[in-house]
């Protein structure tokens, strides 16, 4: 039997919630969406959540709401999913790529060194479920008067000193892609912010720039969310903390089972609560190990084999070399992880990894 990389939940409670939303016959930005927005804001500790079609859309709306324009530079890690970069480019700004630190997230010292007079903001990514070094990134931003926009697409429910990520910057973006910690049955995302004006602007931008049904105050786009997804996510949001606890339990099981191997395991920062969206190990024998596991019905992934500063789409920017990022992408491997994997499956993966290194 194949062990998948991720296993999103579908059960009777979720199906019943979706069916009830269908019967409600109000399918876009209706009561389920409004309730979910309130619940997401409370869970994170911010005033507003604005549902939208994806985290990419959320990032774009926030940057548009912050007044980003052509010629502006925005610091972002190279080691992230490419949509982070797309949003910056669609907002009209230029991404400035920052190297990774020992936890695969944005290196604050490298970020500080790349600030220019054109830099307006920083988009740190809480990657794989691991928070960035929040105080260090905040210091970089405040020292130069830059805004901070958190990309929380892979880390919903993670925390720094007990405070949830998504509540530190002027705004944050969430993703509900099916493999994420709070998984939808399709695409989806949200803006998080305590800025009343920014929240109102994002609500307009996601719905064609409307002030009301007939009056369009600005050029927006169709980036709305739907009631069926909201109904399912409301069920899962009530379970999110428990699901993250389960991910942490499975990560601890991996750590115990894979100890003493020539394999670098994910570490948790001091002050941080890692929620293990992915369980990413590191070995120079990555490709061999992935092939060995595939032969045994175990799916793995590489997040991400091509760093964003080396993508053809941004070649014209002539990005600088990022030595640490370029080295780590040759060695990283994501092992199966979700809140709905079983301990027995984790043990099966562990046994196969141990068998590989015993050969």
Of 237, 263, 296, which residue is a domain's last?
A: 237
Tally the domains of the chain: 2
Q: Tell me the pLDDT tens digit for each residue of 192-224.
A: 999 999 999 999 999 999 999 999 999 999 999
Query: How big is the CA angle at 307 (ends 302 and 310), to the nearest 5 degrees?
Result: 140
Structure tokens at 219: 């050029």
Give a yes or no: residue 143 inside a domain: yes
Tell me, yes or no, whether 253 and 283 share the same domain.
yes
Of 211, 237, 263, which residue is a domain's last?
A: 237
- Give the domain range for residue 215: 12-237
Handedness of CA 224, 67, 131, 261 (dihedral sign): positive
Of 183, 214, 237, which residue is a domain's last?
A: 237
Tell me, yes or no, whether 40 and 150 share the same domain.
yes
Closest CA to 183 of 339, 45, 57, 48: 339
> For residue 1, what pLDDT is reported?
77
The DSSP call for residue 275 is -
Q: What is the CATH number of the domain that holds 264?
A: 3.90.1150.10
Tell me, yes or no, whether 113 and 81 share the same domain.
yes
Tell me, yes or no, whether 225 and 266 share the same domain.
no
Q: Tell me the whole-structure pTM to 2 decimals.
A: 0.97
d(CA 105, CA 130): 8
The number of angstroms, rounded, from the C-alpha of 246 to the middle of its chain's C-alpha atoms is 18
Tell me, yes or no, whether 227 and 315 share the same domain.
no
pLDDT, one tens digit for every residue, the chain (359 residues): 799 999 999 999 999 999 999 999 999 999 999 999 999 999 999 999 999 999 999 999 999 999 999 999 999 999 999 999 999 999 999 999 999 999 999 999 999 999 999 999 999 999 999 999 999 999 999 999 999 999 999 999 999 999 999 999 999 999 999 999 999 999 999 999 999 999 999 999 999 999 999 999 999 999 999 999 999 999 999 999 999 999 999 999 999 999 999 999 999 999 999 999 999 999 999 999 999 999 999 999 999 999 999 999 999 999 999 999 999 999 999 999 999 999 999 999 999 999 999 98
Q: What is the CATH number of the domain that holds 111?
A: 3.40.640.10
């Amino acid at each position: 039997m194949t062990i998948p990389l991720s296993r999103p939940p579908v059960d009777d409670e979720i199906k019943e919630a979706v069916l009830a939303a269908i019967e409600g016959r109000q399918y876009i930005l209706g009561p389920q969406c409004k309730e979910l927005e309130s619940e997401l804001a409370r869970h994170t500790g911010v005033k507003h959540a604005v549902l939208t079609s994806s985290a990419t859309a959320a990032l774009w709306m926030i940057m548009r709401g912050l007044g980003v324009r052509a010629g502006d530079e925005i610091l972002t890690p190279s080691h992230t999913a490419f949509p982070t970069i797309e949003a910056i480019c669609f907002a009209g700004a230029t991404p400035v790529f920052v190297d990774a630190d020992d936890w695969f997230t944005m290196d604050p010292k490298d970020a500080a060194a790349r600030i220019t007079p054109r830099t307006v903001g920083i988009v740190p990514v809480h990657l794989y479920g691991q928070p960035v070094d929040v105080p260090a990134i905040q210091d970089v931003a405040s020292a130069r008067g830059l805004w901070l926009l958190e990309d929380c697409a892979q880390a919903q429910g993670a925390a720094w000193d007990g405070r949830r990520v998504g509540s530190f910057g002027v705004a944050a973006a969430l993703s509900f892609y099916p493999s994420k910690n709070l998984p939808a049955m399709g695409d989806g995302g949200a803006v998080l912010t305590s800025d009343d004006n920014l929240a109102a602007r994002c609500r307009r931008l996601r719905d064609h720039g409307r002030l009301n049904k007939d009056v369009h105050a600005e050029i927006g786009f169709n980036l709305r969310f739907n009631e069926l997804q909201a109904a399912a996510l409301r069920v899962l949001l009530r379970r999110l903390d428990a699901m993250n606890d389960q991910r942490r339990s499975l990560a601890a099981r991996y750590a115990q089972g894979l100890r003493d191997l020539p394999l670098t395991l994910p570490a948790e920062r001091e002050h941080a609560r890692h929620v293990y969206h992915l369980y990413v190990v590191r070995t120079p024998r990555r490709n061999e190990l992935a092939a060995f596991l595939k032969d045994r019905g175990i799916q793995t992934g590489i997040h991400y084999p091509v760093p964003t500063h080396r993508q053809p789409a941004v070649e014209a920017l002539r990005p600088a070399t990022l030595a640490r990022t370029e080295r780590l992408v040759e060695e990283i491997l994501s092992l199966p992880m979700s809140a709905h994997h079983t301990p027995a499956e984790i043990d099966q993966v562990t046994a196969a990894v141990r068998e590989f290194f015993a050969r």
